[in-house]
Amino acid sequence: MSGVSLSNIKKAYGPINVIHDVNIKVEQGEFVVFVGPSGCGKSTLLRMIAGLEETTGGTIDIEGADVTHLEAAKRGVSMVFQSYALYPHLSVFDNMAFSMQIARRPKDEIKQKVDEAARILQLEDHLDRKPSQLSGGQRQRVAIGRAIVRQPKVFLFDEPLSNLDAELRVQMRMEIARLHNQIGATMIYVTHDQVEAMTLADKIVVLKSGSVQQIGSPLDLYDNPDNQFVAGFIGSPKMNFLKGIVNEPRVDGKITITLDDAPNTTFDITCGSATLNAGDAVTVGIRPENIGLEHDETVGPTVFLKPEFTEELGGVSYIHTQTKDGVRVTIERRSERNRVDQEDLQVTLPVRDLFVFDADGARLR
């Protein structure tokens, strides 16, 4: 059974379309992350699922029932807000009990459910406090507790960790992952942070300007991005992009490409059914960890890079460099101690690790 399914979802504010024909299927019990830069419509989409925003077109199904025009409270969803939205005048207990008090549930049941949620979230000692007496992480937990108590069909998280400091964010990220394993509910999580997306998600939906760019498992998106936007967005540090041109058009499903930075070498790459002509511009991408520091022309083109500075993180280090045209390229090294950033580097870009995108950003494969 599907947890949540969005079909041809559209959203317009007056004449301005902000969500274009979005189709997403979330399986029951799945943890799905909507990720994208700010303004991509991910929060709007989440609020449409919650029922806080009207849906202009398309249908939203939750566990098989069409809820497109149902009011928020009847959809069986809980939402954790970026600001937590805890009621400042109520104690932690009353905050978590709010929905059941509204529904006039018996006192015993309320107490039992709140205690249960408090136990899961380790809030037992704080039930009498006001939100202002809690730390950021604890407030976050209360907000999650308030969602748990309702036993919703779907949990919605709207950038829940962005108000926390870096260390706490990592910790809460793990707690959310643990919570998902523990209660196994369908969860939809919105973030602009691709690391959160990668670490939490069963499935990631990458959005840009109100359109779905790609849907897939984290590693799927990492290893096999559909377009240049997804390739650049997923992965930290970012994928490096270099300019090139098509040298010879398609022969046996392959094209020959020359990099602007390596004009004397050409390489062949699979291009699927794409038709490109000689002289067409392409973008070639390579992840920082795939750039070879040794010079080996048999595996791919070699490029000269001018090191600018190195970030030494112990196990891993990042060498930040520039090509002669000023394009920034980051190289990742692992467990190496010798410095190599003193003089120009001639690095190898193995052909098997290259991604090629056409002028519109679509992947050639």
Contact residues for another protein, defined by CB under 8 A: 50-52, 71-74, 77-79, 81, 83, 85, 87-89, 98-99, 102-103, 146, 150
> Which C-beta is closer to another protein: that of 89 or that of 119?
89
Pairing outcome for strands 154-158 and 77-80:
parallel
Name the minimum Å distance from CB 72 to another protein: 5
Shortest reach from residue 81's CB to another protein, in Å: 5
β-sheet bridge partners, residue 211: 208
Buried b (16+ CB within 10 A) or exposed e, 9-24: bbbeeeeebbbbebeb
Q: Return the number of the residue (132 or 338) whose C-beta is nearest another protein.
A: 132
CB 331 within 8 A of CB 322: no
Strand partners, 259: 244, 262
Question: Taking the complex as a whole, how short is the minimal distance between the CB of residue 300 and another protein, in angstroms?
Answer: 52
Nearer to another protein, 151 or 270 (CB): 151
User: Which residue lies nearer to another protein by CB, 73 or 251?
Assistant: 73
Closest to another protein by CB, 14 vs 315, is 14
d(CA 257, CA 246): 5
| Cβ 165 to another protein shortest distance, Å | 21
Q: Are strands 186-191 and 31-35 parallel, antiparallel or unpaired?
A: parallel
Q: How far is the CB of 79 from another protein (least distance, A)?
A: 6
Instruction: Please state the closest distance from residue 21 (CB atom) to another protein, in A.
Output: 26
Rounded to a whole number of angstroms, the minimum distance from the CB of residue 87 to another protein is 6
Q: Which residue, 77 or 259, has its beta carbon nearer to another protein?
A: 77
Single-letter amino acid, residue 27:
E
Entry field: residues in the chain: 365
Cβ atoms 293, 340 nearer than 8 A: yes
Least gap, CB of 142 to another protein (angstroms): 12
Longest dimension (CA), the chain: 79
Our CB check for another protein shows the closer of 47 and 287 to be 47
Q: Which residue's CB is nearer to another protein, number 150 or number 180?
A: 150
Two tokens, residue 91 = 């104690």
Nearer to another protein, 40 or 77 (CB): 77
CB-nearer residue toward another protein: 95 or 323:
95
Q: How far is the CB of 52 from another protein (least distance, A)?
A: 5
| Closest of 81, 95, 215 to residue 157, by C-alpha | 81
Closest approach, Cβ 71 to another protein, in A, equals 8
